Amino acid sequence: MNFYFVAAAVLAIAIGVAHSWLGERFILTRLFRRQNIPHLFGSDDFTKRTLRFAWHLTTVAWFGAAALLVILASFPTDAAARIISGAIAATFLASAVVALIGSRGRHLSWVIFLMIAGLVWMGIR
């Protein structure tokens, strides 16, 4: 069992749970109270539902990455597993860079994304 992959998976699940819970509690609920949300297809209901599912879809993607990491942790590493792991590490590294630059370092998700990328990279070695 590859400890680095499992640790990265745990962090991916944790950031997904935090993202959905904190986003719902502090961002989406407050955003949806506003009166000036654009009306798509006749009302703001479609807009609100789209924003909500798009927000939580990110969490689903992180859970998927975590599942892949647990699967990869459970089997001997071959060339294909290294390539897939590299793609996962690169994706989380890119997420860290985008979050760091986009928030000017204020949104601390970049730290977790960077940790996940580092753990996966170490797990490949």
What pLDDT shows up at residue 91?
96
- Could you tell me what percentage of the chain is helix, strand and coil, using 3-state DSSP and rounding each to the nearest 5? 80, 0, 20
| Assessment of whether the complete model's pTM goes beyond 0.75 | yes
Instruction: Give the Cα-Cα-Cα angle 98, 36, 45 (nearest 5 degrees).
Output: 85
What pLDDT shows up at residue 78?
83
What pLDDT shows up at residue 125?
83
Instruction: Give the residues of the chain that fall short of pLDDT 70.
Output: none
Q: Structural domain boundaries of the chain? A: 3-124
- CA-wise closest residue to 87 among 53, 125, 40, 124: 124
What pLDDT shows up at residue 64?
96
